[in-house]
């Protein structure tokens, strides 16, 4: 983190400090902030970054020696529950005021920022602190990409885009030879392509045929494999990243049809999804051009209203897009969401998110989604891979 900039932000927000806390990985945001993702820690720890003065660490006695020395600040240790409380009390009392940010969100309105358990919040508040959400700090200091991260994202995006093209080509070649690959075989094909390019993923791609494409988080079955035949609709959702911990993901979804003439209904709902996707991107571009702050929920509302106007509002059952992260494909930044949550966070330059409206009709054997990644640069929103305009003809 840029600590001088963080101190300025704390002062601007009239905060006395940012109190990071974790126990056994329950707060990955705190681990990311201090670069502790791979470090073995089995006891509770607190790390206070004050608006003024030195940072302070409270760590268990058995881990005081192993807690990374590179993390600066005054160190205090505890062993008993009483000494934990006393140490935390001293930490909070070191501040001129007691207004602290933590990974919490009122009423759990944004689950990605609801990391600290209720009991710990009660403990901190019992010691006289006022706790507010760290949502804005998290996005500003942990979610914005460096130029190196942007370059990594672009490389990963191009690699998965090529993998997607190769998968559709593999299906076409197989059908010409009279062979019908199953969903999980195409999934394995994509994973092999990822490995060949040195890419990593937290979950294999989604490969979903016909009605399975009507389930947004469908998982192909190896026990009951589903073949992909001529005349089938095929949805491929794939995401991956380069090897370094700080490398961000790339994430896209395309839909193809194994033949020349897709069903009219499939083409209709795909066209609606593409129009909604493009409207979402236009909403972001217009706000940038006008110099206007834009919240995540506003983009979702524009996209959702368009789909509803075409009669499919109840068939778009997830948010429009998610923040793109490094530890997982779903990051901690603002989501394009006015359905699952009401995300009022501003979309900030240096962050990235997906736009991926979908329409799901499993009872008709159909489901479509069109997904692009958008990076907010100082020059405006950028999309670094082709956006799908029509159903891929697999033949």
Are 137 and 157 within one domain?
A: no
Q: Which CATH number covers residue 64?
A: 3.40.350.10
Where among 111, 142, 173 does a domain terminate? 142
Q: What is the pLDDT of residues 110-155, one digit of tens each?
A: 998 999 999 999 999 999 999 999 999 999 999 999 999 999 999 9
Provide the pLDDT for residue 36.
92
Provide the pLDDT for residue 4.
86
Give the chain's domain count.
2
Provide the pLDDT for residue 3.
83
Are 117 and 54 within one domain?
A: yes
pTM of the model: 0.94
Q: Which CATH number covers residue 265?
A: 3.90.230.10
Where among 107, 123, 142 does a domain terminate? 142
Provide the pLDDT for residue 325.
95
Provide the pLDDT for residue 37.
84
Are 153 and 137 within one domain?
A: no
Are 187 and 330 within one domain?
A: yes
Are 265 and 194 within one domain?
A: yes
Report the distance separating Cα 135 and Cα 137, nearest Å.
Answer: 6
Q: What is the pLDDT of residues 45-56, one digit of tens each?
A: 999 999 999 999
Regions of the chain with pLDDT less than 50: none
Q: What is the pLDDT of residues 23-72, one digit of tens each?
A: 999 999 999 999 998 889 999 999 999 999 999 999 999 999 999 999 99
Are 168 and 205 within one domain?
A: yes
Are 138 and 157 within one domain?
A: no
Q: How far is CA 22 from each of CA 2, 219, 232, rounded to the nearest angstrom?
A: 21, 32, 48
Are 89 and 164 within one domain?
A: no
Are 197 and 230 within one domain?
A: yes
Structural domain including 64 reads 3-142
Where among 115, 142, 169 does a domain terminate? 142
Strand bridging mode 17-22 / 99-102? parallel
Are 171 and 305 within one domain?
A: yes
Provide the pLDDT for residue 38.
83
């Amino acid at each position: 983190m840029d600590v001088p900039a963080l101190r300025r932000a704390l002062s601007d927000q009239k905060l006395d400090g940012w109190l990071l806390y974790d126990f056994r990985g329950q707060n990955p945001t705190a681990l990311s902030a201090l670069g502790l993702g791979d470090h073995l820690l089995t006891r509770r720890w607190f790390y206070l970054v004050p608006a003024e003065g030195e940072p302070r660490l409270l760590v268990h006695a058995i881990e005081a020696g192993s807690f990374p020395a590179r993390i600066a600040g005054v160190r205090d240790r505890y062993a008993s529950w009483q000494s934990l409380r006393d140490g935390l009390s001293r930490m909070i009392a070191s501040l001129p005021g007691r207004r602290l940010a933590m990974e919490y969100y009122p009423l759990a309105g944004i689950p990605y920022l609801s990391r600290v358990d209720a009991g710990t919040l009660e403990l901190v508040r019992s010691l006289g602190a006022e706790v507010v959400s760290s949502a804005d700090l998290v996005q500003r200091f942990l979610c914005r990409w460096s130029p190196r991260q942007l370059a990594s994202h672009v490389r990963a995006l191009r690699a998965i885009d090529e993998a997607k093209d190769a998968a559709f080509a593999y299906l076409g070649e197989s059908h010409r030879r009279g062979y019908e690959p199953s969903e999980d075989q195409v999934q394995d094909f994509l994973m092999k392509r990822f490995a060949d390019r040195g890419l990593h993923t937290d979950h294999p791609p989604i490969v979903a045929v016909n009605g399975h494409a009507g389930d947004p988080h469908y998982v192909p079955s190896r026990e009951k494999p589903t073949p992909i035949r001529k005349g089938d609709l095929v949805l491929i959702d794939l995401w991956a990243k380069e090897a370094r911990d700080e490398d961000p993901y790339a994430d896209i979804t395309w839909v193809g049809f194994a033949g020349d003439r897709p069903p009219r209904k499939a083409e209709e709902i795909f066209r609606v999804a593409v129009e909604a996707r493009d409207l979402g991107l236009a909403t972001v571009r217009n706000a940038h051009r006008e110099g206007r702050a834009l919240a995540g929920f506003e983009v979702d509302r524009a996209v959702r209203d368009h789909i509803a106007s075409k009669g499919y509002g109840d068939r778009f059952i997830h948010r429009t897009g998610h923040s793109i992260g490094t530890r997982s494909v779903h990051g901690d930044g603002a989501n394009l969401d006015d359905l699952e949550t009401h995300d009022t966070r501003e979309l900030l330059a240096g962050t990235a998110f997906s736009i991926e409206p979908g329409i799901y009709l499993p009872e008709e054997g159909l489901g479509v989604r069109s997904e692009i990644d958008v990076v907010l640069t100082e020059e405006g929103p950028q999309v670094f891979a082709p956006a799908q305009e029509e159903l891929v003809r697999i033949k």
